[in-house]
Structure 1
């Protein structure tokens, strides 16, 4: 993919006399991406995740080896990621594996956010404290009393006891990784903001999204058993035997609500498959 973009840039001079050079390059990059064969890179990503699983087990950390299937188109890193300057829609990209990915920090943040929402519904201060102990806490919780409504609630910044790797595509959909997508700039005309919406003349802007049916793989490790047990009881009234069971419950719940950009518009929904839980 990186080589394809370089090829498109090299063609810049050939189109330098055209008015919209950026559009020419964008169309070339999208066409290349849709035709690109990612099979070898996907196999390499899968082998890499095998090594990660082995490493986590050798560290005696409880974990879960997750495969999640994209059930709708997926967008990640749209605001500033790779491809932003070309297609206007960015994407998180690993320059070593030459593949898109979902950051582990994003997955961890989604798990924590949804766990906190569940705690808030239960109006349980104890529940919130266990979520922050497991998933970490930062400056965002400096005003925790106002956020959660518990008088005198305080917390200190720490990294937590849950570790999440980046999620990489490890299985293609019908041999393909990408699908074409469209963004409509509804409120601009001739690069100016319109004052009246009736003046809008939306021109579709082509972009890329992860294709429906692509399978991602990642690993979540949990270092603490007792805290996970207590949180599982508070959230789901479930007596777990392994801390990774709690992660799986939260993951299934969170992914059913969508991840990444435009989840409110139907993007980013994923079905979770667990290959191994230890």
Structure 2
């Protein structure tokens, strides 16, 4: 009788001194989360190479993912991070005030997440299989301005939206047409109900892009996501002087309202990764 091979996945916990030292997140205003995770990743891996972390080196990233995700979910409960969210709200308000002075017209679009939000999963700043876009200074996740602009532009193009005779290339800018008239800024969570971060899991069955039942190896991947019911602020500006020269006239209220309302509709269509399976759904509250 052939005995099954032993698997290090039976070990339930990753153990190393670096995890205790860097991933408790007991003092978030003074502790940089990204730096702490990177430091823990390197130091703990060294312990694993010496056989002292409790798991096989080949399984290290998987176990580290789980631990970091769990630590973030536990530490980023709403009652613990109110000060971080208030700082984000104040930062967005300052961006809005400055943008209004510079461009002549600015808005804050407020939306509430109806489902979990994933953003920049393929280019994370933290060493995770599936990461999340993270602000190094404010110590919270955020939605990069480039992601918001890309989403809005795709919505305008797909729906052939024209405002004041200007199509998506002219409104958002292009290599041929130059700089656009709409300016986007990073968006931030400003309040939540229970948790700001919660763990999620997907289980890929096939290695790479090849679908082959004989080589199927279901492998759970645990990762952090922004929790539903989180309220996000999306600052947007419209360059009134430039767009006024382009379409003529001083009364641009109708055009600006059309631009912002369609950006709000674009946000409601889904933000970030995996929107086709229900992630990143937002209900716009006001703007």
Give the 5 Å matches for 1:1-278: 1-2=33-34, 4-6=36-38, 8-9=40-41, 10-16=43-49, 17=51, 18-19=55-56, 20-37=59-76, 38-59=81-102, 61-83=104-126, 85-86=127-128, 88-119=129-160, 129-138=166-175, 156-174=176-194, 176-188=195-207, 196-224=212-240, 241-275=253-287
Name the CA distance, whole Å, in 1 between partners of 2:169 and 2:178: 9
Structure 1 residue runs of 5 or longer lacking an equivalent are 139-155, 232-238
Q: Which has the higher contact order (CA 8 A, sep 6+)?
A: 1
Bigger mean CA deviation after superposition, 239-248 or 108-117: 239-248
> Secondary structure at the residue paired with 1:99?
coil
Displacement of 1:58 in angstroms is: 2.5
Q: 1:64 to 1:243 in 2, by over 3 A?
A: farther
Q: 1:199 to 1:130 in 2, by over 3 A?
A: closer
> Secondary structure at the residue paired with 1:59?
helix
Q: 1:225 to 1:270 in 2, by over 3 A?
A: farther
Name the CA distance, whole Å, in 2 between partners of 1:58 and 1:195: 54
Q: 1:240 to 1:223 in 2, by over 3 A?
A: closer
Displacement of 1:193 in angstroms is: 7.7
Q: 1:253 to 1:11 in 2, by over 3 A?
A: same
Q: What do residues 171-199 of structure 1 show as CA deviations (whole Å, max 9, x unaligned)?
A: 1232x1111111212113xxx88773255
Name the CA distance, whole Å, in 2 between partners of 1:7 and 1:104: 28
Structure 2 residue runs of 5 or longer lacking an equivalent are 1-32
Name the CA distance, whole Å, in 1 between partners of 2:242 and 2:34: 45
Whether the 8 Å CA contact 1:64–1:274 is kept in 2: the answer is no
Name the CA distance, whole Å, in 1 between partners of 2:211 and 2:96: 55
Whether the 8 Å CA contact 1:136–1:158 is kept in 2: the answer is yes
Q: What do residues 63-118 of structure 1 show as CA deviations (whole Å, max 9, x unaligned)?
A: 211111111111110111223x32x1122111111221111122122212211222
Displacement of 1:135 in angstroms is: 1.2
- Provide the aligned length of Structure 1 versus Structure 2: 240
